[in-house]
Structure 1
């Protein structure tokens, strides 16, 4: 039964690039042993309690007493195809289709490694109803963009084909279902197609390889040693892919692409009966000769195999990953089983909160986390990851083991249990409140996920009812038992990743894992009650001084007596959800463009520094069980706080933001932690072309503007608690405040809350003029690309070429027309660089037009590729640019660019995020309101001549600037 999983959020944003994924992408079941046999006390099969007498148990719920989610219509064809369909109008007109085949990389034989994934690629090239390469074009004409609306995934246990069809007309839906059925049943597995697509998969393999993949592979090989998963990455192997033939791939298809292995889930704005009939029409006569192939054994953890390993990766910080492994067993997805899952989740969440508290308080580790998963029907594991601060990984591991030892020795306190239960209750209640506006694509994905992990799905109300009906089961003793069970297994394995060789590393790791540690109860968070009354007091409430109807939907602008302005849009497009955003100050414009600053440190430490006398731990308690958040961002022209909340929490959400501006706290520990995380993360940015792009793209395309430079050790050394406060304290006090409220709220209540919170703030200081230049610019043209080096594999490179455009609101309509031009450019680049040349897996063209600056925009082409293909990249990109400027595009190509944009805007405009993003800043610059009125025609109404004129205006060879990312020893290219 699918429950929302609650995890401690990663606290070191700088380490996002280093997040360890054991075997991406893995879909995993929830943990636990079976607690029911699938039969009742009389030996009869369990049935969902909400079925009527004589009503047949849906295939997904056989052997389960989980109530059926009756929003779905379930069915099974005579040939074995199973399906689930439901009506869903979010967004209006869209239909989300998923076709799951129960075959992934684990079903491959040794010579077939990579075939499941290769077959996924080949199905998009051509099939029974469409010639090679035409499926993508057909869906573009129907408004679906490749990659976001039409895509697929291969994991160790399944392959899933995905189509989100916008504005699904009966004809378009029928055509799409027909094409998908042809792809599944009769893909065009010709020798020419295999020969053309293998280089594309090779490019994907190359682009996704590197230190992170090596660490992931080493971890998977150790953790799952002796099991098939250890050697089965979905991407495959070079030697087996190079040996692929159409006959061999066809044999894999015939063995696994069968009706009984197929599940179709569809959620969309269509009558379910229509969807059922389409499934019957296009899959009902599907027959495959022979019997289902037996599933290969996946194996079980072997306690006799090695348990420790070290790996040296210069770009990585020290990283310890541990796994306590148990054999995976099929379970019956019953209410009782899910109750135990929830207990297990609370038990791990208790530990994670303690580990996070220890890290916040200045511990020896930057981040540590515990997670329990059933991985690819191979192991039931408890996984622990530790990122030490500095080089003393043994001390960090000892500290984490001390926290775990305490959790295994002593039951949690009633206060700890109540705190986690409040969090779970709030999360489940939010799902109930927002169920009516849950996207159809998510619901279709939920069915696929449930089938993959062999469980049922439950409605949000069922999940909440189960949780609230079992609160007496959350005893300290039962949680302690759960913790002990989760940390017991047939073997424990660990891997140490180190930036430099560790003498006798495996022996040291073994010793660190087995030596006695004392239970560390200091990480337990003492009971402390914190309420919103403990926040600093604000001043006297303000009043509304002016109200302006924007003449756009029901959106209005109000001004409070202290000068604070707000844009309000009460609506029920997303039930029980209110988007709140507070914009103030000048963002990047508040910092000079000619010298370093601490702009980068704000996102890491500003929120965590606390409010008044309340630190981050107090803020966590303050918002416990509430839908109250606190995001912070630095934008081009403003700083922003943001959160999603609900009506009952709106006033306190606004109070939290307002008091942060009025009485910020300046804790030193979050700053020290941000500094440590920054120093550790910087090591990773040279690992591959991809990480170099993440580090340098914004910096280089802004002509080395220090505001967008990823901080290195020198910059991190400048970050002290004192310097952080000196930078950010005045910025919180400066500049006009804009409040945006979009969502399900009562207007009068919202205005009253604004008057008591933001209306009670003192008048703001004006933003001082920044010394030195504050604009942004694209680099001057170059004839030879700038060369940046990476420390990764010698067969990896990346290249960028861009042309300057403009910026500012004055030219926003032209910037939208440029989106059409870049969509055309992107399609041609995909066809020529990927589909034909096989040189790059995911090349892309981007249009960057900064609204907040009057210049600095650009059209950029980015590709990751082999060093020997860099010249080809520039040749193709320049040729496309020149051709676009030389002659008009044809009508079909233009339609394939504009229709997906039309549908994108139409879908986005049904949600509040669209309107908020378009109108933010309008209290300062009313031109944003008028610019919004033309947005749909700007993106969709154009001519071939207009596209040619824009290309001729901007895509000028002598205006282009380029850079390449090359391995250390590769020669620099001559020209571009």
Structure 2
């Protein structure tokens, strides 16, 4: 048993920022399919639809029956409340510390067992590079059982319940993990700095801009009482979600969750949750740069807008997802065609509905050497061409064929997707009030709707998206440290790319007409 610093946040181009991870080796929005308190919806004939419910004390659960080749089942416990909840003096970094302590703390029922979680868990679960993460809004614990036997699942749920409510925070166990957390964060310092700089430019005022990326200043000195106080404030029934994915029966699994978690009492009134901060549109700068000597070399053009409201129906979400995938495929194909001899992954585009409270559409070029000006020019011209001329019928038809092929491949690969990965995806979907729509369902929807999506509809959609957001151009290049005015130099490179057009780069909001 040992801990690893391997879990990462969702990446932008490359792995940018890692909050936390622990190894076990050798209500933001209503859930779309949720039901009334104390009940559960019945299994659907479509086995991709999870059974979702809530116990009387507020603990939520989602059970996704799935036949596969795995010997066991994935179990995930998600506790809402991460770095954003550390708003009292002396609490910075303690949510991360608690996550580490879980694996090396005695419990009320095992007061002398320093490694209770790992000792019991090793006998029941498969090895994994990491089994816990902490972000700005939650801590996750995820395990894959060795078997699907009821007794094993019950034992793991009992272990998770102990982690949620019964830690003793013995001083020697806490002190050992202080060092581990500080070492982990020190190893991620450069990535944190790069990511924090980017978020400050593209999503100012959002959680990962408001919260210091390191967020561990109080870990070395916080008292046991302070740590325990945060634990008791965050680890509460109403903040907890249990997700089970695998070859299980819904009613039996629900009964196991009830057995272990329904006796968890609310000991005090629930604290009022402040709304999460959202990005401040008016503070987005049109151009930003990074000149860190150890940094990456990349140029990107992004348009940022608020995250869309949760979909009103599964059909609406599927339609939106298909359009996102189709546009992404079309633009990626164009970017690759413009640089046919470039290595795979040098250029690309993606759409992200991020945890920062913003939707981001990004085109990037991971240029080589000192070619940042060429990269800026290429991205700027591509963005302008898309916003003015849109897609050609030929490239749109190719994109539709390629999207169907992609979805067919993903559908064929579905049995190979690990239960624990599906559990993570399902937990995020529940937290965001969205549906978890699998590849085979998207494929069926694509085949039924792509016929009615022509190049003109795609171009209209793209212009609307681009004009509804704020455009941001960013360059990361160590060479910019030698440039007197990097922003002016980047602006000039972008202007040259569209010099034939009458409009120059505006000072703030960039809307291409």
1:274 to 242, 248, 252: 252
For the pair 1:187 / 2:167, whether they are aligned, the reply is yes
Q: For 1:386 and 1:160, how far apart are their aligned partners in 2?
A: 33
Paired position in structure 2 for 1:505: 486
For the pair 1:142 / 2:124, whether they are aligned, the reply is yes
1:160 to 117, 137, 140: 140
Q: 1:232 to 1:264 in 2, by over 3 A?
A: same
Q: For 2:246 and 2:75, how far apart are their aligned partners in 1?
A: 8
Contact 1:121–1:197 (CA under 8 A) maintained in structure 2: yes
Paired position in structure 1 for 2:305: 326
TM-score (norm 1): 0.44
Contact 1:307–1:492 (CA under 8 A) maintained in structure 2: yes
For residues 585-623 of structure 1, what are the alpha-carbon distances to aligned partners after superposition, in whole Å with 9 as ceiling and x for unaligned?
Answer: xxxxxxxxxxxxxxxxxxxxxxxxxxxxxxxxxxxxxxx
CA RMSD of aligned residues (A): 3.4
Q: 1:138 to 1:173 in 2, by over 3 A?
A: same
Alignment of 1:6-85 (within 5 A): 20-24=14-18, 69=47, 72-85=50-63
Paired position in structure 2 for 1:471: 450
1:486 to 458, 462, 465: 465
2:332 to 352, 358, 369: 352
For the pair 1:411 / 2:390, whether they are aligned, the reply is yes
Q: For 1:452 and 1:474, how far apart are their aligned partners in 2?
A: 31
Question: Alignment partner of 1:487: what SS?
Answer: helix
Paired position in structure 2 for 1:775: none
Q: For 2:358 and 2:492, how far apart are their aligned partners in 1?
A: 25
Alignment of 1:613-624 (within 5 A): none
Q: 1:319 to 1:47 in 2, by over 3 A?
A: closer
Q: 1:347 to 1:134 in 2, by over 3 A?
A: same
Paired position in structure 2 for 1:819: none
Q: 1:412 to 1:356 in 2, by over 3 A?
A: same
Alignment of 1:508-519 (within 5 A): 508-513=489-494, 517=498
1:107 to 69, 79, 85: 85
Task: Tell me the CA shift for residue 166 of structure 1.
Answer: 0.4
Q: For 1:97 and 1:493, how far apart are their aligned partners in 2?
A: 40
TM-score (norm 2): 0.81
Paired position in structure 2 for 1:174: 154
For the pair 1:119 / 2:98, whether they are aligned, the reply is yes
Task: Tell me the CA shift for residue 213 of structure 1.
Answer: 3.5
Task: Tell me the CA shift for residue 284 of structure 1.
Answer: 0.5
Contact 2:363–2:379 (CA under 8 A) maintained in structure 1: no
Alignment of 1:812-891 (within 5 A): none
Q: For 2:261 and 2:151, how far apart are their aligned partners in 1?
A: 18
Q: For 2:45 and 2:312, how far apart are their aligned partners in 1?
A: 11
In structure 1, stretches of 5+ residues that fail to align are 1-16, 27-37, 39-45, 49-55, 521-976
Q: 1:183 to 1:497 in 2, by over 3 A?
A: same
Contact 1:432–1:461 (CA under 8 A) maintained in structure 2: yes
Q: For 1:87 and 1:395, how far apart are their aligned partners in 2?
A: 51
Contact 2:287–2:491 (CA under 8 A) maintained in structure 1: yes
Q: For 2:12 and 2:431, how far apart are their aligned partners in 1?
A: 27
Q: 1:77 to 1:94 in 2, by over 3 A?
A: same
Contact 1:67–1:462 (CA under 8 A) maintained in structure 2: no
Aligned length: 469
In structure 2, stretches of 5+ residues that fail to align are 1-10, 21-29, 502-513
Task: Tell me the CA shift for residue 513 of structure 1.
Answer: 4.0
For the pair 1:227 / 2:206, whether they are aligned, the reply is yes
Question: Alignment partner of 1:84: what SS?
Answer: strand
Alignment of 1:371-520 (within 5 A): 371-433=350-412, 435=414, 438-500=417-479, 501=481, 502-513=483-494, 517=498
Q: Relative contact order, CA 8 A, sep 6+: which one is greater?
A: 2
For the pair 1:205 / 2:172, whether they are aligned, the reply is no
Q: 1:436 to 1:196 in 2, by over 3 A?
A: closer
Q: For 1:390 and 1:155, how far apart are their aligned partners in 2?
A: 34
For residues 285-313 of structure 1, what are the alpha-carbon distances to aligned partners after superposition, in whole Å with 9 as ceiling and x for unaligned?
Answer: 11221124313431232324544333322
Paired position in structure 1 for 2:224: 246
Q: 1:72 to 1:389 in 2, by over 3 A?
A: closer
**Larger CA Rg, structure 1 vs 2:** 1
Task: Tell me the CA shift for residue 326 of structure 1.
Answer: 1.5
Q: 1:214 to 1:74 in 2, by over 3 A?
A: closer
Q: For 2:250 and 2:321, how far apart are their aligned partners in 1?
A: 33
Contact 2:73–2:247 (CA under 8 A) maintained in structure 1: yes
2:68 to 59, 66, 90: 90
For residues 256-295 of structure 1, what are the alpha-carbon distances to aligned partners after superposition, in whole Å with 9 as ceiling and x for unaligned?
Answer: 2222222111123443333211100110111221124313
Contact 2:279–2:356 (CA under 8 A) maintained in structure 1: no
Contact 2:333–2:399 (CA under 8 A) maintained in structure 1: no
Q: For 1:18 and 1:470, how far apart are their aligned partners in 2?
A: 30
Contact 1:333–1:456 (CA under 8 A) maintained in structure 2: no
Q: For 1:276 and 1:182, how far apart are their aligned partners in 2?
A: 18
For residues 195-222 of structure 1, what are the alpha-carbon distances to aligned partners after superposition, in whole Å with 9 as ceiling and x for unaligned?
Answer: 2211100011122223x44322221222
Q: For 2:123 and 2:137, how far apart are their aligned partners in 1?
A: 33
Paired position in structure 1 for 2:131: 151
2:264 to 275, 280, 286: 286
2:114 to 101, 112, 132: 132
Q: 1:384 to 1:225 in 2, by over 3 A?
A: same
Task: Tell me the CA shift for residue 489 of structure 1.
Answer: 4.7
Contact 1:96–1:164 (CA under 8 A) maintained in structure 2: yes
Q: For 2:275 and 2:32, how far apart are their aligned partners in 1?
A: 31
Contact 2:347–2:366 (CA under 8 A) maintained in structure 1: yes
